Amino acid sequence: MKWVDFHCHVDLYDDPRSILASCAQSGVAVFAVSTIPAAADRLKSLVSASGAVVHIGVGLHPEVAHKHQKSLELLLNEVRAYRFVGEVGLDGSPQYREYQATQRRVLEGVFSACEKEGGKILSLHSRRAVRPVLDMLAQHPDAGIPVLHWFSGSPHELAEASMSGCWFSVGLGMLQTATGREVVASMPRNRVLTETDGPFAQAGGKSLTPLDIERSVGALAKVWNVPPELAREMVWSNYEALIAKS
């Protein structure tokens, strides 16, 4: 393996099997997040035959949490069986604001369940909700290793997240804006991973796939001002260090 896509919704592609086969062939290790807990089980059967290195996360995406409240119990049960948890988090965008209480209840439950088990790695969504996500993490310091995906907080919030031990996964969406690049430049380099967030995240009107991870690495290399090959190696060794941690 060579490349890391640490946040991808593998099950949501039209043909996840072929995506996984090409991951195996191209050496892309993937953190396959799920938007609802049932997706994690579906992923299991897809992944086992593929030969790809895939870390399946069980999760409940904050954008759909209010539609799947009945899944919360399943989620909290399943968290025990998975070392990787995600996608979970909070979304403070106007269209989800009315579901804040539900989102918080889900995340609170997940953090508590993770604390009980220990050793978890979490992919966290925090769009327009960095402050409350950091506050909740502070209340659950033993929930596991938080990886903030597509982080969009202020420099002050970034400093706080870094100090509290958060990791970061960054993709083209962040790396294509000047503000995003500034944020990425301030992240501790030994805690940065690459992601695509495909198929939701797109470039040129096309959904990104894990095979596009080279583009994230290339854009990250520019921010770091290092050759792409060195950036790839740095991300890979970060990934290995993270996996060895928990």
11/87 with CB nearer Mn ion: 87
Is there binding between residue 5 and Mn ion (CB under 5 A)? no
54/234 with CB nearer Mn ion: 54
The window from 46-54, 84-92, 98-106, 171-179 that contacts Mn ion (CB under 5 A) reads: 84-92
Instruction: Name the region of 144 (left: φ>0; alpha: ψ -120 to 50; beta: rest).
Output: left
Tell me the C-alpha distance between 57 and 37, whole Å. Answer: 9
Is there binding between residue 197 and Mn ion (CB under 5 A)? yes
CB of 93 to Mn ion, least distance (A): 14
Phi, psi of 137 (to 5 degrees): -65, -40
What Å distances lie between residue 177 and 10, 118, 166, 182, 225, CA to CA? 25, 36, 22, 9, 16
Tell me the C-alpha distance between 152 and 68, whole Å. Answer: 26
Is there binding between residue 195 and Mn ion (CB under 5 A)? no
Is there binding between residue 91 and Mn ion (CB under 5 A)? no
CB of 230 to Mn ion, least distance (A): 27
- Closest residue to Mn ion in the complex (CB): 197
Pairing of strands 145-149, 192-194: unpaired
CB of 33 to Mn ion, least distance (A): 6
Q: How many residues bind Mn ion (CB under 5 A)?
A: 2
CB of 56 to Mn ion, least distance (A): 14
CB of 126 to Mn ion, least distance (A): 11
201's CB contacts (< 8 A; 6+ apart) are 171, 172, 173, 207, 208
- Give the interface with Mn ion as residue ranges (CB under 5 A): 87, 197
